[in-house]
Amino acid sequence: MRISASAAAVLVLGGSMVLTTPTASANESCDQPLGVAGQYNEFIETDATRTPDSEGAVAVGGDAEFTGGFSIGSHLPSTDALPGNAALVVGGTLATGSKHYTVLEKGSAVYGKLSGRAVEVKPQSPARTAAQGGSPVDFAGEFGKLRSLSAALAKEAARGTTALKADGGDTTLTLTGTDAKINTFSVTAGQLQGAKHITFDVPQGSSSVVNVSGTAYDMNAAGTYAIDGPSELQGHLLWNFPEATKVTKKSDMSWPGSVLAPGAAVDLGTGGPLEGTVIAKSLTAVGSAETHHFPFSGCLPRSAPPAEDNEQAPPPSSAPPAPEDSAAAPQPSPMGSESPAPAEDDLASTGGGAALPIAGTAAAVLAAGTAFLIVSRRRRATAQR
C-alpha cells in the first residue's frame, strides 16, 4: 500500500500533540534518475569521435572513431551493473586505426564491427573480452525515454532565481536557490552564453537542474572562464538542453555537471574536462578534452508522478467531548509501549499489510488524548471544590 509522503504522523506524548512532517517527496526521483544512461560517462545515440580518455563507461549507438588513441574506464569502481558488463559498447563500427591504442581499463567491450587494431583489454582476464557482438543497450528505446525526460524537465517551474550582473568587462550569472533538495532554473542559451562567470548559490548537497532554451549554445561566445558553487557540485548538477541541436564547450574550460542534450551534436572542444555524464545525439571531443567520472547522484523532479502518489490522507476528525457522568477516564498507553512513528522512507514506499493508514491512526490517538485532557481537568476542578 502506498501512503502519501505529504501525510503527517500524529503522536500523543504525555497529553501533548506533536505533528511531524516527513521530508521525502513523492515528486522526486533519486534512484538512477537518468536510467541506463546515468551509468555511463558518455551515452551517445549515433556517432562519436574521441581522444584521449573517458574515466567512466562509454556507449555509442552508431560508429566510434578512436584512431587518435582512447582509454576507457580507469575510474569505474565496478562494471557489474552495466548491461552485459560492457564498459565500452559500440553499436556500429569501432575504428581504432593502426598507430594508436584503444585501451579498456575495466570491464569488457562489444562492437558491431572492428576496423583497425584490436582493443587492448587490461588487466587480462578470461572473463573480460573485446569482441564483435550484438549491443546490450537498446539505444532507440533509451533515447526515447531521455527525450521525454528532457521535455518534462523543461516544463518544470523554476524554483530559483537568476541574475546577470556586469562588473566592468566581466559578467557573472548567479543562480540562487534555497531548496535543500532540488533547485530548478530556467535560462535562455543567450543568457547563459553571455556570462563569463557562472556561480551556483544553493544549499550544500542539493540538486540543481538548469533548463536551457534555444537550439544552440556556445560557451565560447562570452569566453566563459569559470563555473563554480558548493563542493560536490559536479555530481548534483544537470544541464538540460531540450531544444538544442548544437552544444559547444569552450576548449580548456572545465565544465562541471552532467549534460542532457538528446537531440544535439555536442562538441567538448580540444581541452578541458566535462565532469559528469554527457548524453547527446553525437559527440566530438579530441586533443585533451576528457570526460571525468562524476555520475549524477542527485534527485530530479518527477513531472508526472503515479496517481497514488498524489492521494492525500483525510484530515483527522474532531473528538467528541466526554460525557459529564463518565465513570472512568481513558488511560493513555505508557510511553514505553507506544508504537514508534513510521520512518520517512516507509511513508513514500509501497509496503505490505503491516503499514497503518496514517489518517485513521491519527484520529484515534488524537481522540484518546483529547478525552484524557478533558476528564483530567474536570477531576482537578472537582477536587478543588
Q: What percent of the chain has pLDDT over 70?
A: 72
Three cell numbers written together for 75: 575510474
- Cα–Cα distance between 216 and 312 in angstroms, integer? 42
Spell out the domain ranges in the chain: 9-27+311-348+356-384, 35-301
Mean pLDDT calculated for residue range 159-176: 93
Residue 319 has pLDDT above 70, yes or no: no
Q: What percent of the chain has pLDDT over 90?
A: 67
What's the pLDDT at 123? 82
Residue 25 confidence class, pLDDT cut points 50, 70, 90:
low
Residue 13 confidence class, pLDDT cut points 50, 70, 90:
very low
Residue 4 has pLDDT above 70, yes or no: no
pLDDT tens, position by position, 149-165: 999 999 999 999 999 99
H or E, element range at 382: helix 358-384
Q: Phi then psi for 85, rounded to 5 degrees? A: 55, 25
What's the pLDDT at 167? 86
- Cα–Cα distance between 222 and 42 in angstroms, integer? 26
Mean pLDDT calculated for residue range 290-296: 97
What's the pLDDT at 12? 31
What's the pLDDT at 339? 38
Picking from 236, 234, 274, the residue whose alpha carbon sits closest to that of residue 255 is 274
What's the pLDDT at 26? 54
Q: Phi then psi for 11, rounded to 5 degrees? A: -125, 145
H or E, element range at 183: strand 182-188
